[in-house]
Amino acid sequence: MPTRWQRVQRELRSWLWTLLLMAAVWMAVQSWRGGAQVTGIAPDFEVVDTSGNRLRLSELRGRPTVLYFWASWCTACKLTSPQVEAFSRDHPEITVIGMASDEPQDLRGYLAETPRSFRTALLTAQVARAYSISALPTTIVLDATGTVVWSRQGLLVPWELAWHAP
């Protein structure tokens, strides 16, 4: 006859497996859930990055690109940004562009405290409209031709960006 501790252990293992299964289902649903409403060739834009350099999306054609729309005040962005940062460092063959929905002085202060390895520019109203940005964070993956191949509004599952990148 099992002891009380053995019965508790068996029950805890059962709960753990249930939680792991629920987490796997949640991650799968997040992976297939819709993203931004932009499809086809990504709309071109021109902005100035935080270093003062002109950045035109069409000039990046020939390289896969990730557009990451975020803000320093956004809690979900603070959870997603480390994943995007790690992806940027681990995949130098893919251009990552951060588009920050911030006031210029707030963005400068935030980046001074938490620097990024990827280029960052202020999100303009024109770009936000062109990409139908309605929630932050939003991540959009483009192939080398500039075609949208995947997008997500909200938190990223840790492996998701690397899985969907061309």
Question: Which among 123, 119, 50 has a CA at the least distance from the CA of 84?
Answer: 119
Q: What is the mean pLDDT of residues 14-20?
A: 82
Cα separation of 60 and 31, whole Å?
A: 26
pLDDT digits (tens, 9 = 90+) for 47-84: 999 999 999 999 999 999 999 999 999 999 999 999 99
**What is the pTM assigned to this prediction?**
0.80
* The one-letter amino acid at 11: E
Q: How confident is the model at residue 106 (pLDDT cuts 50, 70, 90)?
A: very high
Contacts of 88 (CB under 8 A, 6+ apart): 66, 94, 96, 116, 117, 118
